[in-house]
Chain A
Amino acid sequence: MGSSRGRSLVLFTLSTLLLVSIAGGFQSDELLQDDEEFGLEGGRPAADPALSTPTRPPIRRRPDPDLPSGSPDSKSVQFSLEHQFGGSGFFPAGTFTARLKSWSHGGQTLTKLRFSRNALTEEEKGAFERLLKEDGYYTIRVPSNVLNAPGRDFVISSVRARCIPRESLDEHFIIHTDGVNIVAVNYGSAGACQYPRMLKYPAKWSFTSFTVLKNSEQAPRTPTFAEELLAGEDGLGEGVKPPEKSFWAKYWMYLIPLVFIVLNAMTQAMNMPEEQTAGQSTQAQRTPSTTVRRR
């Protein structure tokens, strides 16, 4: 289903490209550039929501230093990440930077997420070591709304501290957004977390962060079979009709006895000549006796 849609999408883009290229080379170039730019911004297609594929790969972004080209309908927003080691309060740990894109239909989406982690202080390092020892929770939080960050609520996520250390401290963020709101942040190790969790210290006390921004997927439309409905009320009956069984599946219970009977008959047929000869021999033996009696 998805692949066929994807194929049709490709077909559509190709055909539009073809059309546009027929119309004039200059315009086609612009379209390509536009496409590429959106691709850079995280694969989000142009404003038309009908074009969006149902299963979009998550936008994977590593902190990279290059600045985005400023566009009029997007602005930069910042929100901070705070962390907590066990029971104590939350402390600033880093900053997320993203571009807020406004769409013509009124919606806003976050794109181009970047993250810069503050270096761990000695104190924080000590706290983290303690957490590792007691197998405690390392908790982070981000504001639930990126626009007026301070007054808003916070979405929280935790992980067992022992899941994080590998070579360095590897962390992985998935931020689920809905417009300017952050619904949830899923925080965890970059890969698997072994169980039972072993106490292990990282070689390097710095964070390697991976961040992913996720929007909700669109559910596929319910398939409608107008032609079947038009064809008549047997549409439903046709739908629930069992799949046609193979000959063997249908009649095996008759076939097996049949085979047995045939086999039986064959063995009997094989025995028959012997019996006949045997019978003949007895007859042959008997006949002289009768002749003897007659005599």
Chain B
Amino acid sequence: MSSSHLRPRTAMAIRARLGFVIVLSLFFSATLSTALYEDQVGLADWHHKYIGKVKHAVFHTQKTGRKRVVVSTEENVVASLDLRTGFIFWRNVLGKNDHIDQVDIALGKYVVTLSSGGSILRAWNLPDGQMIWESTLPVSTPSKSSLYVLANMNVGKDNLILVFGGSSIHALSSMDGQIVWRKELSIDSLEIQQIFQPHDSDIINVVGFVGSSEFVVYQISYRTGEVMQQSKASFESGFCGEASLVFDNLVVALDASKSSLVSISFKNEVINFHQINLSDLVPDFSGKVTLLPLKFNGMLAIEIASSILLLRVKGANELEFVEKISHPFAVSDALPLSKVQQAFAILQHDESKIHFKVKSDNDLRNEILKETIQMDSQRGNIEKVFINNYIRTDRTHGFRFLVVMEDHSLLLIQQGEIVWSREDGLASIVDSTTSELPVEKEGVSVAEVEHNLFEWLKGHLLKLKGTLMLASPDEVAAIQAIRLKSSEKNKMTRDHNGFRKLIIVLTRAGKVLALHTGDGRVVWSVLLPALRRSETCGNPFALRVYQWQVPHHHAMHENPSVLVVGRCGHGFDAPGIFSIVDSYTGKVQNSFILEHSVSHIMPLPLTDSTEQRLHLIIDAKLQAHLYPKNSDSLKHFFNEMPNIYWYSVEVEKNKIKGYSLESKAELDTAEEYVFQAKELWSIIFPSESEKIAVTATRKMNEIVHTQAKVVADQDVMYKYISKNILFVATVSPKAAGEIGSATPEEALLYAYLIDTVSGRILHRVCHQGAQGPVHAVVSENWVVYHYFNLRAHRYEMSVIEIYDQSRADNKDVWKLVLGKHNLTAPVSLYSRPDVMVKSQSYFFTHSVKSMAVTATAKGITSKQLLVGTIGDQVLALDKRFLDPRRSVNPTQSEKEEGIIPLTDSLPIVPQSYITHSLQVEDLRSMVTIPAKLESTTLVFSYGVDLFFTRIAPSRTYDSLTEDFSYALLLITIVVLVAAIFVTWALSEKKELKEKWR
């Protein structure tokens, strides 16, 4: 069986027909591979690539050939996109903390990125994204750093790339990234604002502020970095640090009070200041001003209250008011059209329309281009715009706009139309849940059926040809195409196997999207109004999404809905946001800002009469608020109130506390839905020796099929199954850092199993010489955790299985038959538990990003661990490899039970990567969803990319494979029936002949 993936396909199809054979062979097989064939890729899985919210964009359209735009994003991705289609040419995902500061193109062939606070400079090959060189810059203090690529030097020469931040400038060769020179301008607290190079000179001008009141200008040699000239002057009112370079010899800055502008002109070591009062320009001016960081020549943009002003600088002390734009808006950088002309774009929102205006600095009164487009309201406001020009067929300038919207989507607009759009908010999924699709309605038209029947027959004939190896290469391709875009999997109705569902995801931008499991397309999307920046809620962010209403008995006519919980601001005491969204249409049913904060959300296993799930929200003051607020839910809640417990993990304080609800004596009508918490237990980890690294619990919806485990020699062990089991791993504070920061003697890892109702520590074990990062997954009665073993210099996975000894005497079959067992008696967690623990550790080659476990509808199918590896792939590891009962020489009965002989490390079979050849870039989480078919689990993994597939940990023993040829079966039956008739007729004839003889 272990090599079954090598067997021919036909053999497998035959095996599939013998379903029960497979069930039986399960007991004998040792390794079950989930590998698939090349032609099966894309049948049940899909992979979507995203890049995240774009921060910077550089167009590369000068040369003939591929027109592209290079972007860097907030997910630390640098990517090259096709300007025509928006597809990704290439993409590189940098590390988690390697934030990109700036991106540019050097020498016309390298993409240069500055990242990690100005300390790493990398060059990527523009056509294919290969890394050309990487340089690490010695930056003492991380500060705001910028990149300046000298563009106008002679082509073919080695141009320099300047990186400046704080008081230092680095000049690097763009050919190989070598540091050519380095200049530390020896003044403390110097903040370099700008570097620029006057046309065709060997001198670089550097302007900056020293402290808050002094302005400095340096002239530095381009070749050597030598300071040629230096001048400074101080301004008594001081500066706030914002400045904008207007001309080669004029800087406009904001003064310390942020209420007036200062123009600073410098020429030949003479620096002049001119204070410009804004009230002269704007009559009703009051409040604070901010300078927009835009690159304009001779212009500047300032933001006052909720509008921006465009000002034209005519001289050192003369500003001209050009235009006032009110929110919401976006202004692009200036784009040089010719040596004397530059253009910039102003985008303005007007309800669902966006007005595009392109202006040239020669003629500010009129627009070069004016367009209006209709925009989907679910994309929110414009956040950023990048502008690029092209020459039209009539030799005039045309413009295209790359627009970043509030929901992080990216659009390219040209000629008043959306050329392409990318839903890049999906690169930052915060949480996800699933929803069933609607049941198929009666009354499907006959024509459709006939069409389907014909297609069906044709498809099966083709398949039959394929199986009989009669198909030509064209037909093989046609078969593959039919299989890939089978309309069956993309239907918007519930299917018999439960493969078709909606995955409802919540993104960081506050957008909720429903993805179809068939092909991952967006069914609907909604940018939640409650999670958008507003007057009442300045800094909202999305927390979680839960199932709010899942109608199946009482409210069948209603659509299911999901609950989105957010928070206004990042503090724990910030008020919460509540939004209920229809799962089928994406309509926001209800949305409001809570009066209390949200620190913990508990979906209760209770529903009210309309099947709305009861949720208990714990605020920062330890008060529990019940939702939905109606008397019916309150009635249901009171019945279960004495049995509601919860816990909180306080990582900073190294504490875990357990709570229950205080029974209320008097009912205050206003506070009817508010309950007080009562602290029941606490566990305090000594801060000098332990620090909480990870906690893990069982999934609330997990189903366990058998409570008992039959071990060899017909013995029974009862699993300790409790939904309230909490796994906590603590590491010694010294070993909390990176691997290698502590010696094996200092590093300790404690693993705890805690019952969260009574606060009992069921098991506590110490791993010496082990340290984090720890990843853990809890399921049924076991926990598997992954950590680093410093003594063995390897990663390790440990398994703890916990068994209930108090029921161990329930082995008598007669007692079971006569009903005299106590298996159905209620179990109280206040009883003293009598547990037995089995554990074992194994080496594991990979480091791990996240871990999950498969879940099936009834819990009968054996489990697989899903391991998100460092290479952003998902590995399915059979749980039987992590059996603590594995021994070196298993006895015959143990072998029959399926126990694998003990090995010191866990095998990594290449075929068991469920992502096969794909990578889920920046993999963050894996979600398993049970399908209706018991053998199958749906797996949705997300990071920057999305990947969905379905896996069968014990093979699809309960259904025929997808490529099973029904036509072959039909033909066989027909042929058999025909043969029966023919032989019958023949025998009749013969008999007659006999009789006539």
Contacts and interface: CB of A to CB of B under 8 A. Distances in A.
Contacts of A196: 826
Contacts of A235: 903
Interface in B734-786: 750-751, 758-761, 763-768
Interface string B779-813: 00000000001001000101000000010000000
A239 B903 contact: yes
Given A189-B832, A216-B764, A242-B28, A144 B684 contact: yes
Interface string A75-97: 00000000000010000000000
B895 A137 contact: no
Contacts of B686: 144-145, 178-179, 181, 183
A50 B48 CA distance: 53
A154 B887 contact: no
Contacts of A172: 832
A219 B841 contact: yes
A194 interface: yes
Interface stretch (A27-35, A65-73, A157-165): A157-165
B907 A236 contact: yes
B828 A192 contact: yes
Interface stretch (A13-21, A112-120, A221-229, A269-277): A221-229
A178 B759 CA distance: 17
Contacts of B759: 156-158, 184, 186
Contact of B902 (A155, A218, A223): A223
Interface in A160-207: 160, 163, 172, 174, 176, 178-179, 181-184, 186, 188-197
Nearest to A136: B663
A1 B683 CA distance: 32
B907 A240 contact: yes
A214 interface: yes
13 contacts: A137-B678, A155-B681, A163-B830, A172-B832, A183-B683, A188-B830, A189-B830, A193-B828, A217-B764, A224-B792, A240-B907, A243-B901, A249-B28
A225 B904 contact: yes
A245 interface: yes
B689 A153 contact: no
Interface centre among A174, A176, A186 (most CB of B within 10 A): A186
Nearest to A253: B21
Nearest to B685: A183
B831 A222 contact: no
B234 interface: no
Interface in A124-157: 134-135, 137, 139, 144-145, 153-157
A219 B828 contact: no
B890 interface: yes
Given A191-B831, A242-B28, 13 more contacts: A137-B680, A155-B681, A174-B760, A192-B828, A192-B831, A196-B826, A218-B766, A219-B841, A222-B796, A236-B903, A239-B900, A239-B903, A241-B30
Contacts of B28: 242, 245, 249
A223 B842 CA distance: 7
A243 B2 contact: no
A183 B684 contact: yes
A145 B843 CA distance: 36
A214 B764 contact: yes
A154 B690 CA distance: 17
Contact of A219 (B2, B30, B832, B839): B839
Contact of A216 (B681, B750, B827): B750
A57 interface: no
A220 B841 contact: yes
A195 B828 contact: yes
Interface string B647-680: 0000000010000101100000000000000111
B286 interface: no
B841 A222 contact: yes
B539 interface: no
A189 B758 CA distance: 12
A178 to B, nearest CB: 6
Contacts of A191: 831-832
B641 to A, nearest CB: 12
A217 B903 contact: no
Nearest to B764: A216
B765 A216 contact: yes
B826 A195 contact: yes
Given A219-B798, A220-B839, A153 B2 contact: no
Given A195-B826, A219-B798, A240 B765 contact: no
Contacts of A159: 758, 830
Interface string B411-448: 00000000000000000000000000000000000000
A220 B840 contact: yes
A208 to B, nearest CB: 14
A176 to B, nearest CB: 5
B543 to A, nearest CB: 29
Nearest to B901: A239
Interface centre among B642, B662, B681, B764 (most CB of A within 10 A): B681
A236 B905 contact: yes
Given A156-B681, A158-B681, A186 B904 contact: no
A156 B761 contact: no
A257 to B, nearest CB: 13
Contacts, number: 166
B31 interface: yes
B372 interface: no
A189 B839 CA distance: 28
A240 B758 contact: no
Contacts of B831: 163, 188-189, 191-193
Nearest to B643: A195
B816 interface: no
Contacts of B827: 195
A125 to B, nearest CB: 22
A239 B31 contact: no
B36 interface: no
A214 to B, nearest CB: 7
A87 B684 CA distance: 22
The 8 closest A-B pairs by CB, nearest first: A239-B903, A242-B30, A243-B895, A181-B686, A193-B830, A192-B831, A195-B828, A222-B841
B130 interface: no
Given A188-B832, A190-B832, A179 B764 contact: no
A240 B2 contact: yes
B1 interface: yes
Interface centre among A87, A135, A183, A214 (most CB of B within 10 A): A183
B905 A188 contact: no
A167 to B, nearest CB: 17
Given A156-B680, A219-B798, A179 B689 contact: yes
Interface centre among B1, B768, B904 (most CB of A within 10 A): B904
Contacts of B796: 222
B29 interface: yes
Interface string B77-113: 0000000000000000000000000000000000000
Nearest to B797: A222
B3 to A, nearest CB: 10
A176 B830 contact: no
A268 to B, nearest CB: 18
Contacts of A174: 760-761
A90 B885 CA distance: 46
A1 B2 CA distance: 29
Nearest to A154: B682
Contacts of A87: 662
Contacts of A193: 828, 830-831
A222 B758 contact: no
B983 to A, nearest CB: 19
A218 B907 CA distance: 26
Contacts of B766: 216-219
Nearest to B836: A55
Contacts of B690: 178
Contacts of A219: 751, 765-768, 798, 839, 841
A242 B1 CA distance: 8
Interface string A93-121: 00000000000000000000000000000
